[in-house]
Amino acid sequence: MGLAESLLGRLNKLRNSKTLIVGIGSTLKGDDGLGPILCEKLKGRTCAQVINAGTVPENYIQQIVKSKPRNLVIVDAVDLQAPPGTIKILKPVQLDSMVISTHVLSPGVFIDVISRQIDVNIYFIGVQPAQCALGQSLSTEATRAVQQLTDIITEIFPPQP
């Protein structure tokens, strides 16, 4: 089973449920911007609510809580100790050991604050960056990963007619 089929299978159970997708990262730092870039690619192409949280996801906690999604999908560049472009769905407990340096609030704490306020299924999608240098654009590997995620998300959450 390929990566796309595996991700599609794991996320397919979210079909027809209220889902909010949050992209995290800095578009000024190469592959770290893949979360926000994914959000831009999803605009108008999905029925899921999409939030580009940039480098300050904590600023969106109350908006997320008020939205009361059934599922929260968070996408961010994470050092997975894997080849660039690798995509993995991580459990919230795994996030404490991941290296994410561009955010004031760690994703683990972000998730914990939200899950204490609402009952929500959380899916954290980490993508291994190739580079996160200031002033760089997305690498080929990150661009490919963003396209795969766009395809999967728009298949599971097509736009409403």
* CATH number where 46 lies: 3.40.50.1450
pLDDT at position 105 is 59
Does residue 18 fall inside a structural domain? yes
pLDDT at position 159 is 92
Rg of the Cα atoms in the chain: 14
Does residue 140 fall inside a structural domain? yes
Q: What's the domain count of the chain?
A: 1
Angle of CA points 62, 63, 65, to nearest 5°: 60
pLDDT at position 101 is 45
How many percent of the chain have pLDDT more than 70?
A: 89
Which of 46-61 are b and which e, b meaning 16 or more Cβ less than 10 Å from the residue's Cβ?
bebbbbbbbbebeebe
Angle of CA points 54, 81, 133, to nearest 5°: 45
Residues spanned by the domain of 67: 3-156
pLDDT at position 14 is 92
- The model's pTM is 0.91
Q: What are the residue ranges in the chain where pLDDT is below 50? A: 1, 101
The H or E element spanning position 54 is strand 49-54
Q: Are 108 and 95 in contact (CB under 8 A)?
A: yes
pLDDT at position 100 is 52
